[in-house]
Structure 1
Amino acid sequence: MRRRQALVAALGGLAAGCGYALVGKGVTTDPSIKRIGVPLFHNRTGRSDLDATVTQAVIEELQKRGRFTVVKEASGVDAVVEGDIIAYSTVPVNFTDEGGVSQASRYAITLTASVVYRKIGQKQPIWANNAFTLRDEYDMDTQATSYFDREQLSIGRLSQAFARNLVAAMLEAF
């Protein structure tokens, strides 16, 4: 009986030792990077104010990390995050039928940017992605006048999510 209990305890210990572990290496940021510059992203889309909204969201997300001083220029910094917003689209994804007329009731917006995070004085970037993309959706009501208000709210949400995902991708080695 004791032998059986010992065997069960040993097998239990072995089973507890088996499991999943994170493969990533955690933070990949060079510890010498204390000050990061985030100049205004270039807006190649024609959608006004998208550059300012996305850039500000990235700055705020980096500041939330608490390890960096974040400024809006590329001079006097240890590293820089540079971005080009290369695509923005709004497309209807759901329709309702009102009296034989089909009307869009839900829209999806997609934002794509080319982003480079590099240490000043180094040619090789720390992190880069030529097509970093995120999408958000929003519902429309029957008032056509609220279209631009809903789109603007969605752009705000998308910019914050975009910045959160972008900063995580830049700073974490997963």
Structure 2
Amino acid sequence: MATWMKKILLLSAVLPLMVGCAYTPKVIIPPHIKRIDIPIFANKTFRYGLEERLTEGVIQAFIIDGRLIVARSGKADAKLEGEIISYSKEPLRYDDEGYVSEYKIWIRTSLLFYDLIHKEALWSDELEESVTYIPEASFLVDKGFSPETEDEAEDRLLKKLSIRIASRTIDGW
């Protein structure tokens, strides 16, 4: 009886680990969609070139994911259209002398994922992402924090947002 109980306990401990290892995200897009067109995003902000960098980041996120093939219009089953609707930068923290020691930047986008075969919108959404960064003149640099320029922080932000857009399209979150 003790051997039987040990086997049950061992199985109950190992089974959840085995099930967890087999998890793969569920693809929410219809099975007929294999190729996606991602035209250059529109840009309603003052940040020149942001639309090209975000579009390229989103394309790279889809290529790395590999579940949809990025194609040009005419060869695609679906289209992901995007628009950068806002870019914001605000101070988060000041030093004793009133200088900004940390900033937060964020980008807000409007997205539409469209089924070109059945001629219907699959979803539309607004996504926003943000990052914080410490400018080079910050007192925090003397305390061991790594400084960044706004452009470097913006690169991190665009990568983070690109991955989120691809995930929203394929996995639904």
TM range (shorter): 0.7 to 0.9
1:4 to 2, 5, 9: 2
Q: 1:95 corresponds to which letter in structure 2?
A: Y
CA RMSD of aligned residues (A): 2.8
Number of residue equivalences: 162
For 1:7-156, list aligned pairs within 5 A.
7-17=5-15, 26-71=26-71, 74-97=73-96, 101-129=97-125, 131-142=126-137, 150-156=149-155
Cα distance, 1:25–1:60 mapped onto 2, change above 3 Å? closer
Kindly, what percent of the aligned residue pairs are identical? 25
**2:136 and 2:149 in contact (8 A); partners too:** no
SS of residue matched to 1:27: coil
Q: Note the C-alpha offset of 1:34.
A: 3.3
Partner of residue 162, structure 1: 161
- Out of 74-83 and 62-71, give the one that drifted further: 62-71
Q: Which runs of 5+ in 2 are unaligned?
A: 139-147
Q: Note the C-alpha offset of 1:119.
A: 1.5
**2:105 and 2:132 in contact (8 A); partners too:** yes
Q: Note the C-alpha offset of 1:14.
A: 4.1
**2:92 and 2:100 in contact (8 A); partners too:** yes
Structure index of larger Rg: 1
Structure 1 runs (4+) deviating above 6 angstroms are none
Q: What TM-score does the superposition give when structure 2 sets the normalisation length?
A: 0.77
**1:43 and 1:51 in contact (8 A); partners too:** yes
Q: 1:136 corresponds to which letter in structure 2?
A: V
Q: Note the C-alpha offset of 1:46.
A: 2.5
Q: For each residue in 1:72-105, what CA deviation from the matched residue of structure 2 results, as whole angstroms up to 9, or x when unmatched? A: x5444211110111111001112112xxx31001
Q: What TM-score does the superposition give when structure 1 sets the normalisation length?
A: 0.77
Aligned equivalents of 1:6, 1:35: Cα separation in 2? 52
**2:38 and 2:70 in contact (8 A); partners too:** yes
Q: 2:158 corresponds to which letter in structure 1?
A: S
